[in-house]
């Protein structure tokens, strides 16, 4: 970037956010000299936690729309800090960044690692999870998010406790109780929830991050149905932490 009157223009960073890591990265970028940060949120919740810096809410209109946004806003770098299961958004980000010639980093927290005493049953997708739970228990704690509950609508043999930030929309399981709550969650809180509702199976996506629910399930000897992450597009540059993402932004700035 050429200097004007001896001053380099600000680098413009787009963060595709919605996660704890996305908000932390936005705060770090907003506090850094020479960076203009914009976070894009999908708008799936009515009251999202807003990150520092500029914020836009809503979709881009597919790959073409995102590529156009990158060009029009003169974005210098994109960090995809969306949820590990937001496979469509990540695929669009990879394609749009390549089309616009903008460097892309995928910021993904590591997945969970099985510990001694865990009784994990890994499955490929939500349909496989729904097929697995009836053979493991009758009272299921469902922590896969409100947009995933439809996959369990036909599992009549089980009672479900579903936790999400906002109420899920039909179709729902015939027997379900919905708890509205937003993490992070504590181990004591998860212990109490499992005991109060007599949970005998936990279902979760392998999103990584806090392990309170997994620790509480391990203590009670409960089986856990864990949905594997979708694969990333080939040849994607990734970082496991906010610190690593900041380092990549620094290296990219030097390269540019």
Q: Are 175 and 158 in contact (CB under 8 A)?
A: yes
pLDDT, average across residues 207-227 = 97
Q: What is the CATH number of the domain that holds 20?
A: 3.40.50.720
Q: Which residue, 112, 94, 104, is CA-closest to 204?
A: 112
pLDDT in tens, 103-112: 999 999 999 9
Determine phi and psi for 77, rounding to 5 degrees.
-155, 145
Q: Domain check: are 125 and 221 in the same one?
A: yes
Q: Answer whether residue 3 is part of any domain.
A: no
Q: Domain check: are 164 and 147 in the same one?
A: yes
Q: Domain check: are 216 and 240 in the same one?
A: no
Residue 136 structural domain: 119-227
pLDDT in tens, 116-172: 999 999 999 999 999 999 999 999 999 999 999 999 999 999 999 999 999 999 999
Q: Domain check: are 164 and 106 in the same one?
A: no
pLDDT beyond 60 at 7? no
The two structure tokens encoding residue 144? 């896969």
Q: Answer whether residue 66 is part of any domain.
A: yes
| CB atoms near residue 197 (< 10 Å) | 16
Number of domains in the chain: 2
β-strand 201-205 against 104-107: which pairing, if any? unpaired
Q: Are 152 and 204 in contact (CB under 8 A)?
A: no
Q: What is the CATH number of the domain that holds 154?
A: 3.40.50
The two structure tokens encoding residue 61? 């209109």
Q: Domain check: are 175 and 212 in the same one?
A: yes
Q: Domain check: are 238 and 219 in the same one?
A: no
β-strand 139-142 against 159-164: which pairing, if any? parallel
Q: Domain check: are 163 and 222 in the same one?
A: yes
Q: Answer whether residue 6 is part of any domain.
A: no
pLDDT beyond 70 at 254? no
pLDDT in tens, 115-125: 999 999 999 99
Q: Domain check: are 145 and 81 in the same one?
A: no
- The half-sphere exposure of 112 on its side-chain side, counting CA atoms within 13 A, is 24
Q: Domain check: are 223 and 238 in the same one?
A: no
């Amino acid at each position: 970037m050429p200097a004007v009157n001896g001053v380099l223009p600000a680098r413009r960073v787009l963060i595709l956010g919605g996660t704890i890591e996305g908000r932390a990265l936005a705060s770090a970028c907003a506090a850094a000299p020479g960076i203009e940060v914009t976070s894009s949120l999908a708008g799936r919740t009515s009251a999202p936690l807003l990150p520092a810096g500029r914020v836009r809410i809503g979709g881009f209109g597919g790959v073409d729309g995102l590529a156009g946004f990158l060009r029009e806003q003169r974005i210098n770098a994109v960090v995809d800090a969306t949820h590990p299961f937001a496979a469509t958004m990540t695929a669009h980000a990879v394609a749009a960044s390549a089309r616009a010639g903008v460097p892309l980093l995928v910021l993904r927290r590591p997945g969970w690692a099985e510990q001694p005493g865990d009784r994990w049953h890994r499955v490929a997708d939500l349909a496989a999870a729904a097929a697995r739970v009836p053979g493991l228990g009758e009272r299921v704690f469902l922590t896969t998010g409100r947009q995933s509950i439809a996959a369990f609508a036909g599992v009549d043999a089980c009672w479900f406790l579903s936790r999400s930030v906002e109420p899920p929309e039909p179709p729902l399981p015939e027997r379900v109780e919905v708890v509205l709550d937003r993490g992070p969650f504590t181990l004591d809180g998860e212990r109490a929830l499992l005991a109060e509702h007599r949970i005998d199976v936990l279902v979760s996506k392998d999103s990584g991050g806090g392990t309170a629910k997994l620790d509480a399930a391990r203590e009670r000897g409960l089986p856990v149905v864990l949905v594997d992450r979708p694969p990333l597009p080939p040849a994607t540059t990734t970082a496991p932490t906010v610190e690593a993402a900041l380092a990549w932004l620094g290296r990219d700035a030097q390269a540019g």
